[in-house]
Structure 1
Amino acid sequence: MINYLQTKTKELIDSPKLYAVLFISSFLESIIVPIPLETMLIPLMQARRKKMWLLAFWATVGCILGAIVGYSLGYFLFEKFTEQIASWFSDPQQLEQVTSQMQDKGFLYVLSIGLLPIPFQIAMLAAGAAKYSFGMFILATFIARSVRYFGLALLVLIVGNQAEALFKKYKLHTSIAITLLVVVIWLVL
């Protein structure tokens, strides 16, 4: 699947539909597709360096709109379809734990899930189900996804064509470091 995405990404580089496809991909990645957008975004940014900040912007906007849909599903449909919704993304017990933690530390919870390689759908549904503040949810989503996507643009700016290889090589190390940082922040707060 990832090889297919990389091939399609190369075809998109010169397409006039580039931003629309990126926006839709980001939207879908945030609500239903568990394939990281980075596999598409880094090669696009490397090929279109003059437009990499715009690419990061459209990826962020698509994700935020997808997050609004996920939040709305949790807010309006959670009680009616709890078991079905939970089974789409994770086991029901995990979603219930997330929902209870959302009430205590919602902002940090959304922010950390948005930064970590954990399916963001869990945070969206839990925030909606817990009736967590919509404004704070959007702010946390905006910060987390901006850090993620604009961080990739910064990586491309600094290391150029080595960005994709560097990202793949250190993805696990970076995820572990971010996870430890998030855990420390959670424990302190």
Structure 2
Amino acid sequence: MSIKKKMKRLINSKYMLPGITLASFLESTVVPIPLEALMVPVMQKRRESLWLIALLATVGCLLGALLGYAFGYFLFDLTRDFVMQHITTEAQFTRFQKRMETDGFWFTFSTGVTPIPLQIAMLAAGVAAYSLPLFMLATAIGRVIRYFGLAVLVYYFGDKTEKLVKKYKWQTGLIALVIVITIWWFMLT
């Protein structure tokens, strides 16, 4: 069965909403394919569920982020000796932890709105024992902007959204990254 036929079946299926949640969970944990490739066509065809799709994608991502954080937090101790011997030093790791304490919110937030993989922030926050509530808040804000932003685009531009997202994906990500870095820089100075 072709991908196009599978997409049509998913869009019209009673499992569409749980499928979006699962896809978001998988995208935030192990699948390196941007969720937008799935969300935009689904949102275009199921406009009556536009806001619910964005909400469930956010929920799936937050569940995945929690799992990734836990993975970094609990499993790092099992691999700490190996990491300190082969990848980094105690001094570098201590600097990394301090950096997460001061910049962890913005680092996590930036991975939520830019094409930078969220997995990096999840593991880094867990390993550094960064504040779980702040980590989840930064992730939630970033992904709400991203997923509800897509919903707004579909609401206003309809079927043209997919072309707009494909055409301006990297430019939008770059602009978002520049904005986050600028805000971050002004807050630090």
Query: Shift of the alpha carbon at 1:173?
Result: 1.2
In the other structure, the counterpart of 2:168 is 170
Kindly name which structure, 1 or 2, has the bigger radius of gyration based on alpha carbons. Answer: 2
Task: Indicate how the Cα distance of structure 1 residues 21 and 120 shifts in structure 2: closer, same or farther if over 3 A, else same.
Answer: same
Q: Is 1:56 aligned with 2:54?
A: yes
2:69 alignment partner, one of 68, 71, 75? 71
Q: Which consecutive residues of structure 1, in runs of 5 or more, have no partner in the other structure?
A: 86-91
- Cα distance in 2 between the residues matched to 1:68 and 1:103: 18
TM-score (norm 1): 0.87
Deviation at 1:66, TM superposition (A): 0.3
Structure-1 residue corresponding to 2:39: 41
Aligned to 1:181: 179
Q: Which residue of 2 aligns with 1:161?
A: 159
Which residue number in structure 2 is paired with residue 137 of structure 1? 135
Q: Post-superposition shift, 1:8?
A: 2.8
- Give structure 2 stretches of 5+ with no counterpart: none
Q: Percent identity?
A: 47
**1:18 paired residue among 4, 16, 19:** 16
Q: Distance in 1 between matches of 2:8 and 2:76?
A: 39
Please give the alpha-carbon distance, in whole angstroms, between the structure 1 residues aligned to 2:81 and 2:168: 37
Question: TM-score, length-normalised on structure 2?
Answer: 0.87
Q: Which of 1, 6, 10 in structure 2 is aligned with 1:8? A: 6
Deviation of residue 99 (structure 1)?
5.1
| Structure 2 counterpart of 1:89 | none
Q: Cα–Cα, structure 1 residues 64 and 10, in superposed 2: closer, same or farther, change >3 Å?
A: same
Backbone CA RMSD of aligned residues: 2.2
Aligned to 1:16, the other structure's residue is in SS state coil
Structure 2 counterpart SS, 1:28: helix
**CA separation in 2, counterparts of 1:116 and 1:159?**
21
Q: Classify the secondary structure of the residue corresponding to 2:12.
A: coil
Query: What letter corresponds to residue 57 of structure 2 in structure 1?
Result: A
Paired with 2:18 and 2:118, the residues of 1 have a C-alpha distance of: 22
State how many pairs are aligned: 179
CA distance in structure 1 between the partners assigned to 2:181 and 2:80 by the alignment: 28
